[in-house]
Chains A and B, each alone.
Chain A
Amino acid sequence: MIGEMSRIVRTMTNIIFGFIVVFGFYVIAHGHLSPGGGFQGGAIVASAFALLLVTYGTEVIQQYIAKDLLSVIESTGLILFGSFGFLGISATYFYNIVANSGGLFGSPTVIGVNPGDLNTSGTIALMNIAVGLEVLAALGVIVLTMSAAAEIIQNKEKS
Chain B
Amino acid sequence: MSPLVSFAHIAVLVTLVIAAFLAVTLRDLMSSVIALAAASLLLALEYYLLHAPDVAIAEAAIGAALSTAIYIFAVRATRR
Contacts and interface: CB of A to CB of B under 8 A. Distances in A.
Interface of A: 1, 27, 35-37, 39-40, 43-44, 46-47, 50-51, 53-54, 139, 142-143, 146-147, 149-151, 153-154, 157
The secondary structure that dominates the A interface is helix
Contacts of B58: 39-40, 43
A139 B66 CA distance: 8
The secondary structure that dominates the B interface is helix
Interface of B: 53-54, 57-58, 61-62, 65-66, 69-70, 72-74, 76-77, 79
A50 B66 contact: yes
Given A36-B54, A43-B58, A146-B70, A154 B65 contact: no
Contacts of A149: 77
B12 to A, nearest CB: 19
Max chain B CB contacts within 10 Å: which of A43, A51, A149, A154? A43
Given A43-B62, A157-B79, A146 B53 contact: no
Contacts of B61: 40, 43-44, 46-47
Contacts of B65: 43, 47, 50-51
Nearest to A54: B69
Contacts of B74: 146, 150
A108 to B, nearest CB: 26
A27 B60 CA distance: 14
Contact of B54 (A1, A37, A47, A150): A37
B73 A147 contact: yes
A139 B57 CA distance: 15
